[in-house]
Amino acid sequence: MSVYVNPVCMSVLVGSSCVPMCFHVLTPCPALFAFPHPPCQELQPLMAQLDLKHGDEKQAVAPAQTKPPPCLQKCKAHLLKLVSYFSGDMAPFAKWMEKQFFLLQLLDWVLRGAAQVMFVNNPLSGLIIFAGLILQNYWWALNGFVGTLFATISALILQQNRGAIAAGLYGYNGILVGLLMAVFSNAGNWYWWLLLPNIFMSMMCPVVSSALASINSRWDLPVFTLPFNILVCLHMVATGHYNHHFPQVLIQPRTELPNITWEEIDLAKLFMSVPVGVGQVYGCDNPWTGGIFIISLFISSPITCAHAVLGSTIGMLSGLALAAPFGAIYFGLWGYNCVLACIAIGGMFYALTWQVHLLAITCGFFCAYLGSAIANIMSAFGLPACTWPFCLSALTFLLITTETNKIFKLPLAKVTYPEKNLCYFWKMKKQEKLEKLEEEEKKKIEEQQRAIEEGILNEKEQLRINLSAMEEASLTQIVTGPEPQSEQRDIDGEQTPDYRPEEMPVNYV
């Protein structure tokens, strides 16, 4: 746990990981932040699936706005199309997978589950994350895999929603349970008995997820990693440090803090704490592993990746502000909750606007504060903070209601990944504008129609009066009252639905 990579190597890693990817995707990246009129077309290959599904007559106007691409742009379009197969949520791959062998499908779900910890629904990212885990520790990676696998199987047994299982939404708590139970076990690596509680707790994940979803769905909120937090804390506090079967590492409350002098600070380690913070989401302290995780995020969604790095930085700064021991900051303990909180608020569950971006930064600071508080409380019971701070701060910020439409919380069923969410938000805004325009036009037309109709009605009424006078001649006066009025209403109802016959002076009876 104390393997610190040379900061020089680290910077190379981050650099190298970015360079090839930037070539492909970074061109649209600045465009994403170029608000308020973003050129949506450059990212369209990423959202091809969305357009096909939701494309209606209004979308048909869009291609007309994009100019025919010249030769250079053609090449770029080809590249982007290739990228679109591996980025985002890899929807074409998911569709192709549906017809494959069950075990292959299960592997896809497990990989997606591994990546869903970071809100990424992408099997390639999941594969890279597993690679990062193997780089960190074989035994931990095995436990993580077992956890994801059994959590997914348990969800199948419990007959949970198939779409959610296929998106890995029942696996991500499993991988965390598996990993962190191995990380916090005091029995050392390759203590095979650990697989027993690991499997039991992983299989409880869908149960707890389903139960929490029943509660959170009332506020249209996700369950985040709450099942993992509950189950790992459960296992750790149920057994404890002195247990003979499943001993845990000893965590004790701090009663003293070392004197901090700003001269002692190691800037290289401080810089490295950013990728380490990302790695600590999976309990990994290897900066290379953290770097690999950053790459895996970048593949799927550059916005997610940017907010992950931002979150880790916020956590590090907060640690310095609250006089935390440098060791804990270097070790990434101040970062991982902020990473998740920043991703969740910054574009994942809110549509990314500048206001939401600021909200995500605020949430990051709040999460860091909360992280310190929860770590101190949990240590009284020999427990780590897990991702409780992230869950609580993100849920708090998702529960906010404001009167501005710049902070738009996506309906949970529409959440995919930040770029697609943004497109959904823009499309919705456009539609709203169109509807407003249409309504205004409609009103104008109606007013014109009303003027015309009044002329016609006068004619009609004359005819009707004649007719009803003829009919009424054969009936007594009691019956005549309601009958012609109801006929009148039927006719009006079909010709001018907005026309109120009550407001019309009934001068023909």
Taking phi over 0 as left and psi of -120 to 50 as alpha, with beta for the rest, 220 belongs to: left
With contact defined as beta carbons under 8 Å apart, do 46 and 419 qualify?
yes
With contact defined as beta carbons under 8 Å apart, do 169 and 114 qualify?
no
Comparing CB distances to its own copies, the nearer of 277 and 371 is 371
Residue among 112, 235, 269, 420 that touches its own copies (CB under 8 A): 235
* Interactions with its own copies, residue window 436-495 (CB under 8 A): 456, 459-460, 463-464, 467, 474-476, 478-479, 482-483, 486-487, 490-491, 494-495
With contact defined as beta carbons under 8 Å apart, do 245 and 181 qualify?
no
For residues 424 and 414, give the distance between their C-alpha atoms in angstroms, rounded to a whole number. Answer: 8
Q: DSSP characters for 86-151?
A: HSTT-HHHHHHHTTS-HHHHHHHHHHHHHHHTTT---HHHHHHHHHHHHHH-HHHHHHHHHHHHHH
Comparing CB distances to its own copies, the nearer of 447 and 494 is 494
Burial call 70-104: b when 16+ CB within 10 Å, e when fewer = eeeeeebeeebeebbeebbbbbeebeebeeeeeee
Comparing CB distances to its own copies, the nearer of 8 and 323 is 323
Residue among 9, 242, 433, 434 that touches its own copies (CB under 8 A): 242
* Interactions with its own copies, residue window 134-163 (CB under 8 A): 158-161
Instruction: State the number of binding residues for its own copies (CB under 8 A).
Output: 77
For residues 411 and 433, give the distance between their C-alpha atoms in angstroms, rounded to a whole number. Answer: 20
With binding defined as CB under 8 A, does residue 506 bind its own copies? Answer: no
With binding defined as CB under 8 A, does residue 72 bind its own copies? Answer: no
Residue among 85, 191, 200, 499 that touches its own copies (CB under 8 A): 200
Comparing CB distances to its own copies, the nearer of 490 and 498 is 490
With binding defined as CB under 8 A, does residue 345 bind its own copies? Answer: no
With binding defined as CB under 8 A, does residue 34 bind its own copies? Answer: no
Stretch that binds its own copies, among 25-33, 315-323, 331-339, 436-444 (CB under 8 A): 315-323
With binding defined as CB under 8 A, does residue 246 bind its own copies? Answer: yes
- Residue 338, both tokens: 């902020």
Residue among 377, 469, 506, 509 that touches its own copies (CB under 8 A): 377
With binding defined as CB under 8 A, does residue 1 bind its own copies? Answer: no
Comparing CB distances to its own copies, the nearer of 142 and 165 is 165
Residue among 52, 380, 437, 506 that touches its own copies (CB under 8 A): 380
Residue among 64, 323, 413, 473 that touches its own copies (CB under 8 A): 323
With contact defined as beta carbons under 8 Å apart, do 387 and 343 qualify?
no
Stretch that binds its own copies, among 43-51, 124-132, 239-247, 498-506 (CB under 8 A): 239-247
Three-state secondary structure along 140-202?
HHHHHHHHHHHHHHHHHHCCCCHHHHHCCCCCHHHHHHHHHHHHCECCCCCCHHHHHHHHHHH
**C-alpha dist (Å) from residue 392 to 22, 313, 360, 415:** 34, 20, 14, 20
With binding defined as CB under 8 A, does residue 237 bind its own copies? Answer: yes
Gap between the terminal Cα atoms of the chain: 94
CB of 230 to its own copies, least distance (A): 9
With binding defined as CB under 8 A, does residue 509 bind its own copies? Answer: no
Stretch that binds its own copies, among 17-25, 231-239, 328-336, 440-448 (CB under 8 A): 231-239
> Packing angle between helix 267-279 and helix 7-21, nearest 10 degrees?
50
For residues 351 and 408, give the distance between their C-alpha atoms in angstroms, rounded to a whole number. Answer: 6
Grouping H, G, I as helix, E, B as strand and the rest as coil, residue 70 is coil
Stretch that binds its own copies, among 115-123, 133-141, 183-191, 203-211 (CB under 8 A): 203-211
CB of 336 to its own copies, least distance (A): 17
Comparing CB distances to its own copies, the nearer of 446 and 472 is 472
Comparing CB distances to its own copies, the nearer of 66 and 458 is 458
With binding defined as CB under 8 A, does residue 417 bind its own copies? Answer: no
